[in-house]
Structure 1
Amino acid sequence: MSVPQPPEPIPGARLLFSLDPAVSHLNHGSFGAVPIGVQRAQQRLRDEMESNPLRFFTQGLVDRIAHTRRHLATFLGADPEGTALVGNTTTGVAVVLQSLGLRPGDEILSTDHEYGAVTLSIQRECRRTGAESRVAAIPLAATDAEIVDAVRAALRPGRTRLLVVDQLTSATARLFPVAAIVGVAREHGVPVLVDAAHVPGMLSATVASVGADFWVGNLHKWGYAPRGTAALVVAPQWRDRIEPLVVSWEQEAGFPARLEWQATLDYTSWLAAPAGLFTLRSLGVDRVRAHNAALAAYAQRVVGDALGVAPARLPDPGGPEVAMRIIPLPRGLATTIEAARELQQRIAERLAAEVAVMSWNGEGWLRLCGQVYNSPDEYERLAVRLPPLLAQR
C-alpha cells in the first residue's frame, strides 16, 4: 500500500502565526495557535478596556457579547438564542452537570474515550449528588454501527439521566456517529451531552444536524480564536434550567446572558473570536479542512512506517475531515498518564517537536495533528529521529 501524498501547502499560511520556527508544532489539538492578526485584534480590545475600564464594562458590553455570540453561532449552525459563550468545553460540561439536579439512584453514562478532565467532572458531580458514573467500552476499531449498538446496550432507561459522548475523541482521534447516537438515546428518553471540543473549524457538521440536548465545543483550537472561547448550545426545553457556576448581575436575564456575564472576566478573547473565523474564511474553510486532514493522514503513515507499524494497524479516524491521527507506540511505552507526559516532554526537549503522547486503555499512543503552518518535512524529520529516542528506554 503506497504512502498517501502530502497536500500542497497553502501559500503564506505559515506566516500568519508567531510560532517558534525552531520547533515543530505538531500538536495543534491541545491548545491551538492564534494567528497574528487575531492576537492584534485582541490586543486592541485590551487596550480599549484598559484605557477606560468603567466605560468598557458598563456601556454596551453585554450587547457586544451577544452580537459576537450570534456571529459564532451562525458559523456553527446553531441557534443563537440557545448558544452561550463559555471559557472552554470542560466549563460547559460542568455547567450542564450541575444543572441536572442529579440524585442518588441516577447515573451518567459516558464512554472510555472521554477526555480525562470531563471524566473527573462527572466523577465529582456524582460524589456530590450520590449519582453513579458508568462507562461503556468502545473498541478502537469499532464500526459506526457497532458504536451505536454498544451505546444502546449500555443505556438504562429510567436511571440514565445523561449520556456524555464525544463527537471527535481527544485521546483516540476517533469520529463518533453522534447524530445516530442521539437518535438512539432519544428513543430511550435519555438526554445527550456532546463533547465537541475539536469540532468547530475542523469538521463541517453543524450543531443542528447533531440534534443533541447539549453540545459544547472550543473555538480556540481549530477555529483560530483566542484561548478561552467556547460555545455551549442548549436545546429549548433545557434552557431555563441552565445555571451558571457563579451568579453575577445578569442572573435575572436568563439564558444565555446569565451564563456569559461573569463580572470582571476578560471578555476580549470572545470579542476577538470573529477575527479567527475571518482568518479561516480568508484561507478558505474547505481548503483548510482538506489540507489539514490530508497532512495528518500523511503524518500518520510516515511516522507509523518509521516505527514499524503495519498500515493495517494504523487506526482509521472514521471520517475524511479529521485532522488528528494516532499511532501505536512500542509495547511498554506510555502505559500510564505519568509515563505519557514524561515521554512527551522528552520528545519536546530532545527533538524540538511538540506532539501529544496519550495513554489509553493501558497502551501508549502518539497523536499528530495537521495544520496550515505545518509542512511534510516536519513529520519526515520526526520519523527519522523518533525511533532512536524511543529505543533509549
Structure 2
Amino acid sequence: MVEAARLRAEIEADPNRRLGRRLIDRLRAQTTHAATVFTLSPDRTTLCPNATSGAAALIASLPLGPADTVVVLDTEYASIIRAWEIACAKTSAQLIQIPVPLPFTGTEQLLADLDDRVPGPVSYLQISLITSSAAIRLPVHELSEWVHRRGGRLILDAAHGPGHIPLTPDIWGAAAVFGTVHKWLPAQRSVGFLSLAPDLVDHVRPAEVSLTWDSGDLIERFSWPGTFDPVPRLALHTAIDQWAAWRADGLLDSCTTLAETATDLLTTTGARPTAAGDHLPPRLRAFLLDDVTVPEVKSALRLTGVRAWVGPGPAGECLLRVAVHIYNDLADLETLAGRIQEVLPR
C-alpha cells in the first residue's frame, strides 16, 4: 500500500510525463520481472488488467471459422464460457461444453467423457489450471495430450496460478495462458497477464482499440487500454518481494497445512470436498453442501461475520469455497465449520 501510494502521487504530480513513453518502459521492466518469477517467457508475455481481459483479447483474436470446434468444461469461469459462446456464434464455429460432475472423480472419467462427447477434430480446448468455483486442480498434462491428439491446442486459464502453484506452459504445450496476479500475491487490484505461443504473439490484440493497439510490440500493445490506473502493475515488484518473503518464512507452507485442516473440519460437518488427492489445490478448497440453498448459507455466514465464497456450481449445486491465506488461523476455520454444522440439515 505504501509503495502504491508513492507511485500514485508521483504520477499525479506530472501525468503528462509519467504516463508517456516512460510508462511503457517501466511496464516492460515489471512484465519481465513477473514473467521470470512465474517461469513464463518474458518476450511472449504481457501484463493486462485481469484474466477476463486477457481471455477476451485472445478469444476475439483467434481465427475461428465454421470448420473449427472449441471444447470447454462447464467448470470454467462463467464469463470465459460466455466469451467463447459469442465468438463461436459470430464465426459459426462449434462450441461443445463438457459437464464435469462434482465431486470430481478423476482423470480417466473426464477423458472418457471427452472422447464420448467430442466426435472429431478439435481446434481449441479451454480449461483452468484450478477451476474457480469448484476449486479443482485439473490434470493439465493429460488434457493437453488429449487435445493434441485431436489436432488442437490448449488454452489455459491460470487465474489461480501465480503465487499458488507453478506455471509451466511450455511443458504443458499450452498455446496461451491468461491469469490474474492479485489473487494469491499481495498485489493491488487489478493486474493480470497473458502469455502466448510464438506464433500468436503478433496476432493477439487487446479487446479495446486504444492508441497502442496497432503496435508490433506485445507489451506496448497492452500498455495503454485507454485511461487506467497503472499503479497495480508498477507496484508488482513490491508484491512479488513480499510474497517471496512469506514463502521463505514458511508462511505459505503453513497455509497449505491449514487448508488440509479445513478439509478435515468441514468434512466432519457433512460438507463434501469437490475433489481429492492430487486434484486438491494447495490453499484453495471447495465443498458441496447438500440440501441447503446458496442464500441460506450466505445468510448464516453473514450473521456470524464469517467471510467465505458461497455460490452455485455448474449444475446448480451449493458450493462453499475456502481460500486460506497468511491472515487465517485455526480459529477462523473452526468458526466456519461450526456455522456450517449448524446450517446443514441433520
- 8 Å CA contact 2:202, 2:216 repeated in 1: no
Alpha-carbon distance, 1:321 to partner:
5.0
- 8 Å CA contact 2:124, 2:153 repeated in 1: yes
Cα distance change of structure 1 residues 178 and 315 upon mapping to structure 2, 3 Å threshold: closer
- C-alpha distance after superposition, 1:66-112 (max 9, x if no partner): 00000000011010010011111111111111001222343321012
Alpha-carbon distance, 1:148 to partner:
3.8
Which moves more between the two structures, 76-85 or 256-265? 256-265
Cα distance change of structure 1 residues 381 and 57 upon mapping to structure 2, 3 Å threshold: same
Q: Which amino acid aligns with 1:359?
A: P
How many Å separate the matches in 1 of 2:281 and 2:123? 32
Q: Which residue of 2 aligns with 1:88?
A: 50
Q: Which residue of 2 aligns with 1:386?
A: 340
Cα distance change of structure 1 residues 72 and 131 upon mapping to structure 2, 3 Å threshold: same
How many Å separate the matches in 2 of 1:62 and 1:170? 31
How many Å separate the matches in 1 of 2:119 and 2:186? 39
> For this pair of structures, how many residues does the alignment match?
343
- C-alpha distance after superposition, 1:334-384 (max 9, x if no partner): 3xxxxx3x3454144201011111322232121112111100111111222
Alpha-carbon distance, 1:113 to partner:
1.2
Which moves more between the two structures, 201-210 or 238-247? 201-210
Q: Which residue of 2 aligns with 1:17?
A: none
Alpha-carbon distance, 1:155 to partner:
4.5
How many Å separate the matches in 1 of 2:192 and 2:297? 26
- C-alpha distance after superposition, 1:96-133 (max 9, x if no partner): 11001222343321012111121122222223333232
Which moves more between the two structures, 176-185 or 165-174? 176-185
Query: Which one of 127, 152, 165 corresponds to residue 203 of structure 1?
Result: 165
Structure 1 residue 349 corresponds to structure 2 residue 312: no
Query: Which one of 52, 60, 63 corresponds to residue 14 of structure 2?
Result: 52
Query: Which one of 307, 318, 342 corresponds to residue 278 of structure 2?
Result: 318
Q: Which residue of 1 aligns with 2:326?
A: 372
Structure 1 residue 359 corresponds to structure 2 residue 312: yes
The SS at the match of 1:365 is strand
Q: Which residue of 1 aligns with 2:75?
A: 113
- 8 Å CA contact 2:181, 2:193 repeated in 1: yes
Cα distance change of structure 1 residues 275 and 347 upon mapping to structure 2, 3 Å threshold: farther
How many Å separate the matches in 1 of 2:180 and 2:297? 23
- C-alpha distance after superposition, 1:181-202 (max 9, x if no partner): 2233223221211011101101
Q: Which residue of 2 aligns with 1:77?
A: 39
How many Å separate the matches in 2 of 1:60 and 1:233? 23
Q: Which amino acid aligns with 1:48?
A: E
Q: Which amino acid aligns with 2:218?
A: F
Matches within 5 A, 1:197-236: 197-236=159-198
The SS at the match of 2:17 is helix
- 8 Å CA contact 2:104, 2:136 repeated in 1: no
Structure 1 residue 247 corresponds to structure 2 residue 209: yes
How many Å separate the matches in 1 of 2:41 and 2:345? 51
**Structure 1 unpaired stretches of 5+:** 1-38, 335-339
Q: Which residue of 2 aligns with 1:12?
A: none
- 8 Å CA contact 2:297, 2:343 repeated in 1: no
Higher relative contact order (CA 8 A, sep 6+): 1
Q: Which residue of 1 aligns with 2:289?
A: 329
- C-alpha distance after superposition, 1:236-269 (max 9, x if no partner): 0111111111223322333232123224221111
- C-alpha distance after superposition, 1:6-31 (max 9, x if no partner): xxxxxxxxxxxxxxxxxxxxxxxxxx
Matches within 5 A, 1:108-187: 108-139=70-101, 140-155=103-118, 157-158=120-121, 160-187=122-149
How many Å separate the matches in 1 of 2:340 and 2:309? 13
Q: Which residue of 2 aligns with 1:35?
A: none
Q: Which residue of 2 aligns with 1:304?
A: 267
Q: Which residue of 2 aligns with 1:291?
A: 254
- 8 Å CA contact 1:103, 1:130 repeated in 2: yes
Cα distance change of structure 1 residues 156 and 66 upon mapping to structure 2, 3 Å threshold: farther
Alpha-carbon distance, 1:156 to partner:
5.1
Which moves more between the two structures, 363-372 or 122-131? 122-131
- C-alpha distance after superposition, 1:123-145 (max 9, x if no partner): 22223333232111234332234
Superposed CA RMSD:
2.3
Which moves more between the two structures, 191-200 or 363-372? 363-372
How many Å separate the matches in 1 of 2:62 and 2:161? 24
Cα distance change of structure 1 residues 44 and 297 upon mapping to structure 2, 3 Å threshold: same
Cα distance change of structure 1 residues 57 and 314 upon mapping to structure 2, 3 Å threshold: closer
Which moves more between the two structures, 57-66 or 205-214? 205-214
Q: Which amino acid aligns with 1:56?
A: R
How many Å separate the matches in 2 of 1:240 and 1:314? 39
Cα distance change of structure 1 residues 191 and 285 upon mapping to structure 2, 3 Å threshold: farther
- 8 Å CA contact 1:200, 1:219 repeated in 2: yes
Alpha-carbon distance, 1:317 to partner:
5.7
Cα distance change of structure 1 residues 112 and 291 upon mapping to structure 2, 3 Å threshold: same
Q: Which amino acid aligns with 2:308?
A: V
User: Matched residues, percent identical?
Assistant: 25
Q: Which residue of 2 aligns with 1:43?
A: 5
